[in-house]
Structure 1
Amino acid sequence: QEDLLMKFDELLFLNSRGKNGVSFTIWDYGGQEVFYTLHHLFLTSYGVYLLVFDMQQLAKEDCENAQKYILFWLNSVSLHAPDAPILIVGTMMDQLKKRRDIYNVNEKLMEVIGSGRYSQIVDNTSEEKQLMFFPLSNISGRGIDNIRKSLENAVKDKDYVNQSIPLKWLYFLHLLQKSPDLKRIFLSDAYLIGRKAGITRTEEVNDCLELFHNLGLIVYLTATQNLRNVVALDPQWLASALGRVIRDVKVHNVDEERLKESGLSEEYKALYTSGVATIDLLEYLWGGDLSDETDYLLDLMLTTLLASRWNFNGSSKILIPCLISSVRSRKSVKPRSKGAKSVFMFDFSDSFLPIGMI
C-alpha cells in the first residue's frame, strides 16, 4: 500500500508541475424559476459565484424586473453560501451606446442593492470609477481577462484553497472517481474505499466526504440518516436526474409519441400544472439509464423537501410544489368556520424564497 501511495504521489507531482493559480470547476445554474428549489443542494461557501445579467435590461427606464432578478440571486447565494464571494457580471456591453451608460447601470445597481448591504460582492476596481459589477463584451470578449483575474484574487487567500490535506485524502478521492460509470455508492462502501486509501477511521472518511462536497466534487448530504447513507459521486449526474422531473416544459420537450404510447399523457399534464405525480410517471421519467435509481432519487426528493407524499381522493401520490402553476391571486380569503374571527395570509411572492416554497 505504501508503494501504491508513493506512485500516486509521484503522479500527482508530475501532473502539477508548471501549474500556477487556482483551478475552477464551473457550474451553470438553470435560470428558470422551476430550478430555484434545487439550489440548496449545490450552493456551498467553498466557491465563488458569478451573477450574470444583461446590461440592456438595467439601462431601460423600467428595469424593475431586472432589479428583482439580481436581488433574488444575491439573496439566494447569501442564504446558502454566506461567506462566498460574488462577482456581478453585466453582458452586452457592445449594445450600450455611451460609456456613461455603464455608470448609469452601476447607479441602478446601487439603488437596489445599496452600499455595504452585501459584503460578499467583489468590486471592480479596474475602472477609472469603481464599479460594483464587471462589464463584458459578448462580441470581442473585452473584460473577460479582468473577470478571470478578479475570480482568482477573490479566492486565492481562502482557507479552503490553501488548506493542506493528507495525500491519502487525495488518493481516496481518486478511488471514488476511478469508475466513471459508478454514479453513487452507499456510505458503507465509502468506508471500504477509504481503507484502501489508508483511512481507517470512519470519522476521517466523513471529514473527507464533507470537504469534497463543499468543493463541489461530490454530493454528500447529512440532514437525515437516509441522505447520510448515500454518496453521489457525480454532482452533474444528480442534477440531470432531478432535472428530468423538475424542469421547464416550455424549454425541455418530451417525446410526445412515446409518452402517448405509455398511457401517461394525462399524468404528465397533471404534473406540470398541479404538481402532482404518480409513481408510474416518475418511473417513466427516470426510465432507461436511471431505472435502477428511482427509489434513491425519490427518497432524495422527499428528504430534501423537494417532494412530499399526499393522499388525493384515496390515491397516494407525490406532490412536487415547485411544479405547481404559479398563481398570483390576491383575492380575500373567507373564514372556513363561523367561529373564525381573523384570517392571516402570508404572502412571500415578492421575496427571494424559491418558487415552490411559498
Structure 2
Amino acid sequence: MPSVNGTRNGKNEEDFAGKKLRTLPTELLQRGQDVDKVDLQRNRLKHVAGISQLSNLTELNLSRNEITDFPSEIKDLHQLVRLYLSQNNLKTIPEDVFPFLEKLQFLKLSTNRIGKLPEDIIKCQNLSYLNLSNNCLTDLEPLVGLPHIKELYAERNQLAELPYSLFQTKSLTQFKVNGNPLKKPPEEVCAGGLKDIQNYFSMLESNSPSVHSVKTMFLGTSMAGKSTLCRSLKQACPVSVAEDDRTVGIEISEVESDGVRFYFWDFAGQEEYYNTHHVFITAEAFVILTIDLSSYQTENPQSFDEKVGFWIRNIHLKIPGSVVLLVGTHVDQCTDENEVKEKKKEIEENVEKMLQTHKSHLDQQRRNLQNKDNPSLYSDQINQIKRLTEYKLKVLDLVAIDCTKPQDICRLHDHIKHTVLNKDTFPNIEQTLPKCYHEVEADIQELLRNGDISEHGIVTQDDLLRELKNRHDTLNHDKLKLILQYLHRIGVIMWYKEIPALKNSLFVKPSFLITLFKTIVRHDLDKELAAISPAMLKLENALQKYKERWIRDYKDRATLSNMAIRILMRTELLNLGITDQELLKEVVGSKTTEGHVLSLLKHFDVCLTSKPSCPLNPHANEFVPKKTWKPSNSIVYEPDACLFPSNLPDNTQVEKMWGQDSTEDINIHVYFLPEIPHGFFHRFVIRICSWYSAYWMGKDQCLICCGSKRFLLREHCDEDHFIEIRCKDSDIKTSAEIQKAWEAIRLIMDRLDNLTMQWQGLCQIVHSPCRDPGCSDYFEWNDWKEWLDESGTNEFSVGLEEKYVCRNGHQRRTELLFPRAPDVADT
C-alpha cells in the first residue's frame, strides 16, 4: 500500500520525489532494512540524517535537493550500487566514505560545486559510471587506476590537463570533457572523443612542443575598417582598402608574431553575411570589435546599439567566455582628441552597463525561481541560469587608432600580443601538441605550394591520406584522420564528414570554400544576377528573360533558382581560372545532383529546398505502392529553387493559411534568456521545415502541417523574447488527437532545444498561457527537458490533474495546457 507521503512502486521501493520534504519521513526510516530503492529527488533536503538505517539500499536518488555537505552516513550503505547526488550544492567530498562502498557501480555528482575529488575514490573498484560534469574540478588524477570504469563525464569543469594514465585502461568506452580550459590535450582534440584523446597521448613525445595560437575574429559593422585593420596588422604597416575591395563573406589569413600564431578571420559586416557566421565562429575566441568613431554619435542609443551593442549581445550569447578588444577606427576623421576621448568613455561605460544589466537580470530570474514554494521542481532552470552567470565575457578597454599611421598599427600590434600572452586573460593559449600534428599541417601546405593539391584546395580523403602516408610511415590512416579532424576544428582545413555527400572531400584551402559561399550569400545579389552573361545562360539552356524572374523571386519571395545558383558559382569558378568540368559538377551541381556548396548551406541552416509553386491537383493519378506513378499532366513541376528565410519581407502567406488565433488553441511559449539571438528563428524554422514537407514561411512566422494538424511557430521580440508554438483548435477534437498533437510539439521543442545548445549563453523557460481571453496568467513547465528525452518515458510530471486553475480563477483541462501521461488522459 502507499506510504503516507510516498508511493510504493514495488515491494522494496519507495518514491518520495517532489514532496517538498525537508527531512527524511519517519515512515521511511521505520522500514529500515526492508527498502532496496528510494527516490528522494526534487525535494528541499539539506541533510539526510538517519539514512544509514536503510542499510540494504541498492539505489538512492538524492538529486535536485539543497545538500551542501556530502552525507557521511552514506558510507554505512554497504549494499549501495547506484547513487544520485546531482544538482545539489556540494563543495567537498570527505575521505573515508568511498572505501566502504565496494559495490557502488553508478555515481552521479554532476552540477554541484565540487573542487576536489577524495584520494580514496579509487577504492570503489566496481565503479563503472561516473558523472562529474558542471563542477569546479581542476584534477582527475584520483581516478587513475579505477579498473572497471566505462563511462566518465567531466564536462564544464576547470581542467587544464588530463592524466595520460587515465586513458591506458581498456575498460573506458565513453569520455566527455568539453567546456574545460584544456591545453593538454587541447580542447579541439578532446572534441573528437575518447579515441582522439587516446591517439593524442600515443603520439605525444616527451619533447613535444608547446605552441601559442589564437583564433582572432574581426567583427563590426560594414565599413568600420575591419579589413584595413586586419591587413595592416598582417603586413605590420598601414594598408589602405578601397570601398570596392571590402570584405565579402569572410577572409582568412595566418600571421605569426614572436612565437604567437594568429588565425585572422575577417567577417563582413552586412546582415546578409551575419547569417553564415555561425558556420565559422568557435568558442574561446579573441574578438576584435571595430568601431567607426568618426560616425559614432554620443548620447544616441541607436548609434551605440548598431555599432557596439548588437555585436556584444550576440558575442555574449554565442561565445560568452571569449575576450573582446574594442578598437576605435577612423580617428583621423574626428574633429580633435577630445572628441575621441569622449566617445571612448561613453562606449566603455555603456558596455559596462550592458554586462551588469545582463548579470542582474539573470540573478533576479534565478532568485525568482529559488523563492518558489518548491524550487526543486525548477532545478534544471536554476542550474542553467547559474551556468550563464559563471561565464565571464571579458571586454577590454577601447584602443583608438589612426590606421594610416605606422606607429598606431605598431602600438595596436604590441597591445594585442601582450593581451593574448596574459595567462589570466587567455589561460589556455599555450597548448601541447605532438610534433606530427605540426608536420602534417606543414606537409599539406607544401602539397598546395608544389601543385600536388590543386590551387582550389579540394582533395579527396583517399588522395590526401595517400600523400601523407608516403611522408609518415609511422602514422596509420586512423591517426592521420584524427590529425585532419583536429586541423578542421581549428579552422586550418574544412572537412564536413558528417554530411554524406561531402564525407570524402576535404577543403584544405578554406578561403576557397568561403569564396563560393559569398557567390550566393551576399548583400548585392540582385546586381550579381543582373550581371549574368548571355554565354553563362546558354550553358544552362536559360533564356535572358529568366534573370528578371530570378531577381523578382529573390526580392519578393526570398527564393533563388537552383539554375541561377549554378550559374553564379560556375561564373565565380571560371573567374578563378578553374575549368575542370568534373570539379565544376561536384561543387556547382547539376539539374539532377546537388553541389557541395548548396549541401553546406542547407546543412548549416542558411536555406532549404523551396516547395513547387504550382497548386495541388485533386485529379492526379493515385499513388499505388510498388507501381510506377505516372503524372496526369505532361508537365511535372519539381522543386527548382532554394528559400532563404532571412530575406522574407512579411507574413502574408502564413497569416492567410492560418487564419485567426483561437483561445482554444494549444499554446506554448518558450522564453529565451537573455534574448533570442539574431537569425535564430530562421535557422529553427529551416530545421522544422526540413522535417515537415508541408509548410508556409514568413518573416517571423511559420506554419507547418503534420497530418491534419496545423502548427504555427511565431517569434516575439518585445520586452520578453519568446517563440510561440500553437496548434489549431479546430484540428483537434478528441483526447487521442490531443496526444498526437503533443507528440508533434515534442519534436518541435526538441529541435528547438538542440539548436539552443549552439548558443552557450542561452537558457529557456517554458510556459502555457492561460486560455481565458484577456487573462495574463500562465502555467509554468518544469522538468520539460526530461519529456523531450525520447529514450525516457512519455510522462510529464506537471500534467497529472484533470484540470488546472490559474491565479485569476480560470479553469482549463490539463491536457490542453500540458502533455499528460497516457494513463491519465481522457478517453
Length-normalised TM-score, structure 1: 0.75
Q: Quick check: 2:297–2:303 contact (8 Å CA) kept in 1?
A: no
Residues 30 and 338 from structure 1, CA distance in 2 versus in 1: closer, same or farther, beyond 3 angstroms? Answer: closer
The structure with more radius of gyration: 2
Give the Cα–Cα distance (whole angstroms) in 2 for the partners of residues 171 and 299 of structure 1: 31
Give the Cα–Cα distance (whole angstroms) in 1 for the partners of residues 288 and 357 of structure 2: 19
- Note the 1:264-283 alignment, pairs <5 A: 264-265=546-547, 266-283=549-566
Give the Cα–Cα distance (whole angstroms) in 2 for the partners of residues 87 and 275 of structure 1: 36
Q: Quick check: 1:45–1:214 contact (8 Å CA) kept in 2?
A: no
Q: Does 1:89 align with 2:327?
A: yes
Give the Cα–Cα distance (whole angstroms) in 2 for the partners of residues 272 and 197 of structure 1: 52
Q: Quick check: 1:46–1:84 contact (8 Å CA) kept in 2?
A: yes
Give the alignment partner of residue 505 of structure 2, picking from 230, 240, 243. 230
Higher strand share: 2
Give the Cα–Cα distance (whole angstroms) in 2 for the partners of residues 162 and 252 of structure 1: 46
- Deviations along 1:227-274, one digit per CA (max 9) or x if unpaired, are 543321111111110110111117964563626982231224423442
Q: Quick check: 1:91–1:138 contact (8 Å CA) kept in 2?
A: yes
Q: Quick check: 2:494–2:507 contact (8 Å CA) kept in 1?
A: yes
Question: Which amino acid is the alignment partner of residue 282 of structure 1?
Answer: I
Ranges in structure 2 where 5+ consecutive residues have no aligned partner: 1-255, 360-390, 449-453, 538-542, 575-583, 589-594, 615-636, 684-699, 701-827
Q: Quick check: 2:563–2:640 contact (8 Å CA) kept in 1?
A: no
The match for 2:603 is 303
Q: Quick check: 2:399–2:412 contact (8 Å CA) kept in 1?
A: yes
The match for 2:277 is 39
- What secondary structure does 2:328 align onto? strand
The match for 1:215 is 490
- Note the 1:128-147 alignment, pairs <5 A: 132-140=397-405, 143-147=408-412
The match for 1:8 is none
The match for 1:168 is 436
Give the Cα–Cα distance (whole angstroms) in 2 for the partners of residues 143 and 111 of structure 1: 29
- What secondary structure does 1:27 align onto? strand
- Deviations along 1:198-246, one digit per CA (max 9) or x if unpaired, are 2634442333223322332112335444454332111111111011011
Give the Cα–Cα distance (whole angstroms) in 2 for the partners of residues 301 and 154 of structure 1: 35
Give the Cα–Cα distance (whole angstroms) in 1 for the partners of residues 322 and 279 of structure 2: 16
- Note the 1:36-115 alignment, pairs <5 A: 36-45=274-283, 47-94=285-332, 95=334, 97=336, 98=338, 99-114=341-356
The match for 1:205 is 480
The match for 2:24 is none
Q: Does 1:193 align with 2:464?
A: no
Q: Quick check: 1:227–1:303 contact (8 Å CA) kept in 2?
A: no
Q: Does 1:24 align with 2:262?
A: yes
- What secondary structure does 1:25 align onto? strand
Residues 46 and 209 from structure 1, CA distance in 2 versus in 1: closer, same or farther, beyond 3 angstroms? Answer: farther
Q: Quick check: 2:502–2:596 contact (8 Å CA) kept in 1?
A: no
Question: Which amino acid is the alignment partner of residue 415 of structure 2?
Answer: S
Question: Which amino acid is the alignment partner of residue 297 of structure 1?
Answer: V
- What secondary structure does 1:51 align onto? strand
- Deviations along 1:296-336, one digit per CA (max 9) or x if unpaired, are 1121222222221232224303334256244499x988953
Q: Does 1:353 align with 2:681?
A: no
- Note the 1:243-258 alignment, pairs <5 A: 243-249=518-524, 253=528, 256=531, 258=533
- Deviations along 1:140-162, one digit per CA (max 9) or x if unpaired, are 46654443233223433557753
Q: Quick check: 1:48–1:84 contact (8 Å CA) kept in 2?
A: yes
- What secondary structure does 1:221 align onto? coil
Higher helix share: 1
Give the alignment partner of residue 644 of structure 2, picking from 276, 296, 321. 321
Give the Cα–Cα distance (whole angstroms) in 2 for the partners of residues 207 and 83 of structure 1: 26
- Deviations along 1:92-128, one digit per CA (max 9) or x if unpaired, are 33415413443133223333344896733342xxxxx
Ranges in structure 1 where 5+ consecutive residues have no aligned partner: 1-17, 124-131
Q: Quick check: 1:93–1:135 contact (8 Å CA) kept in 2?
A: yes
Give the Cα–Cα distance (whole angstroms) in 2 for the partners of residues 19 and 282 of structure 1: 40
Question: Which amino acid is the alignment partner of residue 238 of structure 1?
Answer: L
Give the Cα–Cα distance (whole angstroms) in 1 for the partners of residues 526 and 269 of structure 2: 12
* Count of residue pairs brought into register by the alignment: 331
Deviates more, 1:60-69 or 1:33-42: 60-69
Give the Cα–Cα distance (whole angstroms) in 1 for the partners of residues 418 and 497 of structure 2: 31
Give the alignment partner of residue 119 of structure 1, picking from 392, 397, 420. 392
Q: Quick check: 2:326–2:399 contact (8 Å CA) kept in 1?
A: yes
- What secondary structure does 2:467 align onto? helix
Give the Cα–Cα distance (whole angstroms) in 2 for the partners of residues 79 and 222 of structure 1: 27
Aligned-pair identity (%): 15
Residues 64 and 339 from structure 1, CA distance in 2 versus in 1: closer, same or farther, beyond 3 angstroms? Answer: closer
The match for 2:51 is none
Residues 105 and 84 from structure 1, CA distance in 2 versus in 1: closer, same or farther, beyond 3 angstroms? Answer: closer
Question: Which amino acid is the alignment partner of residue 443 of structure 2?
Answer: L
Q: Quick check: 2:456–2:512 contact (8 Å CA) kept in 1?
A: no
Give the Cα–Cα distance (whole angstroms) in 2 for the partners of residues 56 and 138 of structure 1: 13
Give the Cα–Cα distance (whole angstroms) in 2 for the partners of residues 315 and 347 of structure 1: 38
Give the Cα–Cα distance (whole angstroms) in 1 for the partners of residues 647 and 264 of structure 2: 30
- What secondary structure does 1:34 align onto? helix
The match for 2:569 is 286
The match for 1:183 is 457
Residues 335 and 122 from structure 1, CA distance in 2 versus in 1: closer, same or farther, beyond 3 angstroms? Answer: closer
Question: Which amino acid is the alignment partner of residue 492 of structure 2?
Answer: L
Aligned-CA RMSD value: 3.8
Residues 190 and 59 from structure 1, CA distance in 2 versus in 1: closer, same or farther, beyond 3 angstroms? Answer: same
Give the Cα–Cα distance (whole angstroms) in 1 for the partners of residues 483 and 313 of structure 2: 29
- What secondary structure does 2:611 align onto? strand
1:62 shift after superposition: 2.1
1:84 shift after superposition: 3.5
Give the Cα–Cα distance (whole angstroms) in 1 for the partners of residues 642 and 525 of structure 2: 20
